[in-house]
Structure 1
Amino acid sequence: MPATADDEQLAADEMLIKRVQSGASAFELVYRPSPSWPRSSPQSITGPPALAILDSSFNPPTRAHLALASAAGEAAGARLLLLSVRNADKALAPGDATYAQRLAMMRLIAEDADAAVGLVDAPTFVGKAGILREAYATLHGTKTSENPGLVFLLGLDTLERLLAHRYYGSPDAMHAALTRFFALDGDNASVVCARRLMAGDTIVSEEKEQNLIKTAEEVASPGRVSLVDIGDDLARYSSSEVRKHVKEDDQKWKILVTERIADYITRHGLYRV
């Protein structure tokens, strides 16, 4: 049976994944929404705009991902959906979409978000920031010294991991790494975090938010970490809920994802195990 266009794309993506995992490449741009991305046009001579990065496992992408990708608003002129093929916490579980399948779904949602799609092999945001600064400067044809800024779009649970010293070896090492991460003359990073509402724990969530912001302000200037609402319904959407409902053959999972993502999951029989 001849290979389909989807098969050929998966094979090409698997090669890019292996390049990144092997260390042959620190970053790979998998998809761009226009030939001139991240420039607004091929003739643009303006400096690089801030880059908004939505870094997630995309297993699968949900409507919440789509809303969060737009959360940076005018603060960022270019958007990137980023998949790390090495995560500090997570390994592939039975029934998970492969990395290549996730890239295929990320392309679908990237078209809706007017975003590019990229691959990186780094377990922490601090490690990713340096790689992305260099890659972004190369893509834009500018010097890293121009340092336009990186806006990381996170969920509350991910912000909690960013501020957890167990990923840095010690509290002092975390303080040093995050100080550089947020500093204007360092990685010039900021964080936009979506609130996550869970049934019955609104007060707990608010207390957690306040504690995280307080921790962040120990290493970052005020305003470097901000919280946004993406809507109560969307704030409850999660990839784990999608996987759970698919496995249980509960069709309500289809409202958590876009129509094209639902079609992809169904056609490829994902998350049934």
Structure 2
Amino acid sequence: MSIPITSAISSAIEKVQQQVISAALVYKSHERWPLPPTQSLPKIPLRISILDSSFNPPTLAHLALANAPNPFSPAADYDAKLLLLSVRNADKSPQEGDATLSQRIQMMSLLAARVHHNSLSPTPNVAVGLANEPTFVAKSSALRRFLDEHLAKLTPGPLCAVPVQLTFLMGSDTLERVLAPRYYPSEDEMHRLLGIFLSQEGDNAQIVCSRRAVSGKDSKIESLPAANHYLESGRMAFIDIDKREMMLSSSALRAQCRRGVESWSTATTAEIREYIVDNRLYHSI
């Protein structure tokens, strides 16, 4: 498959970083994303899954989470999928030897080729995008603004207001940050913002969290009052992916690669493995 050229990626990164635009798409499986590739009318609401990560690099755990069925609507699944990279991260700073933003986007585009549309259709409907917000609450608002404008261009006339439902996919480490008061001005403000983010009257977003191999930590997160509230209200769900994939992480892959441990190559796809080798990413020599 073709991946976005560096100049196009750099231009998109610059516009998002300078907040000229709230978000940008740098790869689409077809020009009508997130609508169906044909001219058929979209479902209402349009269900879009968002896998937001640093993708440094993408692993088979990312792929498993992106391809996991929709626990809120197993029969319908998602209508479209988005792999999202934040050009500003709330918790992580790039380290020496890490892939650049441009390189991560190219690897995400390689991963996108492995992402299924859904179990009912062989046609992929996936995109790779950028945003410049550090928190999921802010990302949701930015994406909704972007999608409103994007869909209006795709569906001029009476269909321009296509309602969307965003489902954010994440691991338990990320969910812990979403529910941690230290990422907000105060705990009261956290509850207020999460209420907007996850309520039907607000952004109408949902969260799907993949359990990690260390189940004790997951149990601790699931028992948090905020998690309990949104689990019971149907705005949040936990899922399980393959046990081996549950144990994979980008940080472990980078560490193995730098130490010359060959097993790193089994933690990602063949295309991304080749990209890492060709670009000498994460290597110690």
TM-score, L = length of structure 1: 0.90
Q: Take 1:217 and 1:50, find their aligned partners in 2: how far apart are those partners?
A: 24
How far does the alpha carbon of each residue in 1:121-140 deviate from its partner, in whole angstroms, 9 at most, with x for none? 00000000011112222333
Looking at structure 2, the residues matched to 207 and 52 of structure 1 have their Cα atoms a distance apart, in angstroms, of: 24
- CA positional deviation for 1:151: 0.2
Instruction: Determine if contact 2:231/2:237 at 8 Å carries over to the other structure.
Output: no
CA distance in 2, matches of 1:249, 1:100: 24
For the residues of structure 2 that align with 1:75 and 1:221, how far apart are their CA atoms?
21
Aligned pairs for 1:1-273 within 5 A: 9-46=5-42, 47-73=44-70, 74-113=76-115, 114=124, 115-141=126-152, 147-198=163-214, 202=215, 204-212=216-224, 214-218=225-229, 222-273=233-284
What per-residue deviation string (whole Å, max 9, x for no partner) do you get for residues 30-51 of structure 1? 1111122111134122345111
Residues 87-143 of structure 1: CA deviation (Å, up to 9, x unaligned): 111111101000000000000001111420000000000000011112222333368
Give the deviation of 1:221 after TM superposition: 5.3
Structure 2 unmatched runs, 5+: 71-75, 116-123
Q: Percent identity?
A: 41
| C-alpha distance in 2 between matches for 1:227 and 1:250 | 32
Aligned-residue CA RMSD (Å): 2.0
- Relative to structure 1, the CA distance from residue 127 to residue 144 in structure 2 (aligned partners, 3 Å threshold; closer, same or farther) is farther
Q: How far does residue 162 in structure 1 lie from its aligned partner after superposition?
A: 0.3
- Kept in 1, the 8 Å contact 2:82–2:127? The answer is yes
Bigger Cα displacement from structure 2, 107-116 vs 51-60: 107-116
Deviation at 1:264, TM superposition (A): 0.2
Q: Describe the SS at the equivalent of 1:103.
A: helix
Please state which structure has a larger fraction of its residues in helix: 1
Structure 1: tracts of 5 or more residues without a match: none
Secondary structure at the aligned position of 1:112 is classed as coil
Instruction: Say if 1:30 and 1:117, in contact at 8 Å, map to a contact too.
Output: yes
